[in-house]
Amino acid sequence: MTGIEGKVVAITGASSGIGEATALLLAGRGAKVVLGARRRDRLEDVARRIADAGGEAATLATDVRLREDLAALVALARTRFGTLDVLVANAGIGPISPLDDLRVEDWEQLLDVNVKGVLYGIAAALPGFRAQGSGHFVNVASTAAHRIVPTMAVYAASKTAVRVISEGLRQEAGEHLRVTVISPGMTDTDFAVDNGDPAIQAQIAKFKEVAMPPDAIARAIAFAIEQPAGVDVGEVIVRPTAQA
């Protein structure tokens, strides 16, 4: 038995990018994965690939802005596989723009998905983790929480909130629960929304020139999960070597 084999892991934002890569990697190492995302067709495609490789996966259309959806995802893990060992809060969005653009609706979406989505996951999983005397929260933040740059203030604020909430949870968790923050640098995903602004388009294109593949982050998540029960990896920062 490895530190991953046999564990039940729920992953939000699992239909693409880091979530998809994490689902495939963990299932390949023997985890039973429960996949949540809004795009049902893409979720089912990921689950089929896992099944074809001999793994086990369950899926549920999940909008992390809705508390009941996170509760249903956690309930599915326990109904289908009998327990939940790890919750990977990966779902996130990153519309970027100067504050002067006043894209208030984008700001609201960022906070709803990136911050409330993590909190709703904690609310869904924490009581069960307490009851079973074990459990692991893996929350995906960003290097944007460590270095603020123009056009990314609200996104950086949302990911800073993830780090702060995670640290508070870690301190409250006690000796039986684990809390890990994974902070990716530039990664080749579709999180950054092209809003038609040529300057933003150029910024996104520059990101993608040096971006890491999503499986680089999946390996970091696997590293945290596979540690012995008494070892809690607090934060892993993974960035491209070319990133400033």
Q: Look at the alpha carbons of 166, 168, 170, 173 in this order and tell me if their dihedral is positive or negative.
A: negative
Contact by Cβ (8 Å): 143, 239: yes
Known catalytic membership, residue 155: yes
Catalytic residue among 107, 129, 137, 155: 155
183: CB partners within 8 A, 6+ apart: 140, 141, 142, 143, 145, 146, 159, 163, 235, 236, 237, 238
Tokens, residue 155:
């996104």
Q: How far apart are CA 55 and CA 217, in angstroms?
A: 21
Closest CA to 218 of 4, 1, 2: 4
DSSP 8-class letter at 212: B
The one-letter code for the residue type at 238 is: V
227 phi and psi angles, rounded to 5 deg: -65, 155
Query: Which positions are catalytic?
Result: 155
